[in-house]
A and B are shown apart, each in its own frame.
Chain A
Amino acid sequence: MPRMTANDALTSALIEEMRRDSRVLMFGEGVATKRRDLLEEFGAARVRNTPLAEGIIAGTAAGAAATGLRPVIDLLFAPFLCYAMDEIVNSAGKLRYLSGGQFAFPMVVLAATGAGWGVGAQHNHNIEAWFAHSPGLKVAMPSTPADFKGLLKAAIRDDNPVLFFTDLALGFTEGDVTDEVVPLGQAAIRRNGRDVTLISYAKTVHTCLAAAEQLADRGISAEVLDLRTLKPLDEETVLASARRTGRVVVVHEASRMCGIGAEVAAIVAEKAFRDLRAPVLRLTGPDAPAPASFPLEQAFVPQPGQIVTTVRDLLGTRDVRDVELAGVPV
């Protein structure tokens, strides 16, 4: 099994899918400049630079997707999607339905986000929930190099518009990568546990795993569930785990209100209430734009210590040693 970075895994998914299907093409600002290997292999028609105009990039992708191509567009940083919102939400998301099913929009929108680069809120904004709220779209946000590749392959093969968010902090992390396609809509249990389920996606999956280690030292067995795809959401895996442990903490970097955590908490409360032994809790970023300053940026994101204290509170086993852990960036 080759080891590679998440960024390289993403590139290898692009290459394999472009080899597999001549209808797949990729464009965006700087795509042909930065991805010379793709340009050389697939040519200037299938690997294109574009003008700086996210709206027309996304609209062109939607128009092309509806009429026979399978575009992948790179919109760079998630906040730039605001310029492309209409084409993604109103065109790609709705024109299948409004036309009575005459069109499909097999397209992938790539965008990076998340704390780690100190770029501030106009380059870092976890807006994945916006798209999950909008009909006709799918949303994926991987946490491992294997999923960067496998989920992207699935996204390119999917006949619907898929928003594919990549966490800036994960691009250079390494992992084992296979040729496996990871189906959209399937969560993964990253660690088995009995006492509590930590549900997360993207970088905070690793935060949850670190917290689970610390909890294990204190005799608490935490399960870690990686959603991987935010829409469609893998309700079955979420509910099965919630029923098993009876306690759920949802952890994500995106702000709290109407975030994915709210949806997960609601699903668990609605469908697994009888099996719950404690209220479902959320640990999320605050209702604030993401700051650039490194310490503030890190403080924005839930940390292992906070997860540990939250879980120990939930279990009623918190002691004085946990206070210093809370809020201390790890």
Chain B
Amino acid sequence: MTPKQRIEALEQMLLIRAHEEAAVALQGAGKAGGTCTAVGQEASAVGVVMALTENDQILTNHRSIGHLLARGADPRRTMAEILGRQDGYCAGKSGSLHISARELGVVLTSTIVGGELGLATGVALSRKMLGQPGIVACFFGDGAACEGRFHESLNLAAVWELPVLYVCENNHWQAFVHRRETMLVESITAHAPAHGVESNAVDGNDVEAVHDAASAAIAHIRKTGRPYLLETVTYRLRGHYEPDDQSYVDPQELAHWRARDPILLLKRKLDGEGVLDAAGQQRMEQRVRRRIEEAVGFAEANPYPSLDALTTDVYA
């Protein structure tokens, strides 16, 4: 990443963090439904999405704000969606859990764990058959890798040579169950060779490492037309959803990963390398905070959908 890209990455990661913290506050105040935050996973989202081009498409899941904002989503409209307002990306019908933004190439967001894995092959098939350039990036969790659909999807993408970048954001948690309890293998990539798929695991809290690994993976897909599995090893710093007191989380493990907070790591690096000093970082944080405050203001003032929307858009 160039210094300019790294500065941009930091700003996006700060925006995601601030957005999630605002959503938590809104939930706490009873203004928003339960949300699943991606606090701690910002580097994974930003590193991968920055490696994509405009032609590429994204499928994501319940923990999607990072992917959306990194793709350029307007925080006013994501916030409005979280509050169920009419100008949200999905006209208020999604809430926080299935936000798609077709205009940004973020399509078919699904909150059925593994649902997006079942759809990504079809999106990639369309691209291939309609001769559209670009690949399909599909974000899912370590829990989704326990679903049968994960294997079916990888297998079909391999057999049909579909341009899918599978991004497993391994945050160690599958709702309230630690991944150690659900799988014997240390890495999700262990499953890739069984399907004839290339793979790589990367430190998901190091945005540069993620960006490099994603760039290499994407280059491989563009060159071969075949799928690729990238695992970003990261950690869910907050609970599964809000509110969640995390009483079931090993404090030592949490402390270890808090010390590896991806924003902290990047800030330290940019300061150390003289790319962006503490004062510059502070100014950036203020700018981001203002944007999010404005987004919350917009969303709270935005009307709810009219009640006849209850039965619109069921059928095409």
Count how many pairs of residues, one from A and one from B, have CB atoms less than 8 Å apart in the complex: 148
Contacts of B109 in A (CB 8 A): 99
Contacts of B110 in A (CB 8 A): 90-91, 95
Interchain CB contact under 8 A, B156 and A63: no
Interchain CB contact under 8 A, B118 and A56: yes
Interface stretch, picked from A64-72, A145-153, A208-216, A235-243, is A64-72
Contact of B118 among A65, A91, A104, A160 (CB under 8 A): A91
Interchain CB contact under 8 A, A99 and B98: yes
Contacts of B93 in A (CB 8 A): 97-100
CB distance from B288 to the nearest CB of A (A): 27
Q: Tell me, in angstroms, the Cα distance from A45 to B127 when the chains sit together.
A: 13
Contacts of B115 in A (CB 8 A): 59, 86-87, 90-91
Given known A-B contacts A45-B129, A53-B155, A86-B112, A63 and B121 have beta carbons under 8 A apart: yes
Closest to A105 in B: B316
Check: B92 CB closer than 8 A to any chain A CB. yes
Q: Tell me, in angstroms, the Cα distance from A51 to B157 when the chains sit together.
A: 11
Check: A55 CB closer than 8 A to any chain B CB. yes
Contact of B94 among A51, A59, A100, A159 (CB under 8 A): A100
Interface stretch, picked from B146-154, B203-211, B273-281, is B146-154
Contact of B314 among A25, A50, A96, A103 (CB under 8 A): A96
Interchain CB contact under 8 A, A51 and B155: yes
Which chain A residues in 215-233 approach chain B with CB under 8 Å?
none
Given known A-B contacts A65-B122, A90-B112, A104-B316, A51 and B89 have beta carbons under 8 A apart: no
Interface size on A, residues (CB 8 A): 44
Interchain CB contact under 8 A, A69 and B316: no
Closest to B312 in A: A101
Could you mark each residue 82-117 of chain A with 1 if its beta carbon is under 8 Å from any beta carbon of chain B, else 0? 000011001100011111111111100000000000
CB distance from B3 to the nearest CB of A (A): 37
Interchain CB contact under 8 A, B316 and A87: no
CB distance from B47 to the nearest CB of A (A): 25
Check: A7 CB closer than 8 A to any chain B CB. no
14 additional A-B pairs beyond A60-B118, A63-B126, beta carbons within 8 Å, are A51-B152, A51-B156, A55-B149, A59-B119, A61-B122, A63-B123, A64-B126, A67-B123, A67-B127, A96-B314, A99-B94, A101-B91, A102-B107, A103-B102
Q: Identify the A interface with B (CB < 8 A).
A: 23, 25, 45-46, 48, 50-51, 53, 55-56, 58-69, 71, 86-87, 90-91, 95-106, 135-136, 138, 159-160
Q: Which 8 A-B pairs have the closest CB atoms?
A: A63-B122, A59-B118, A100-B91, A101-B313, A56-B152, A63-B119, A64-B122, A159-B316
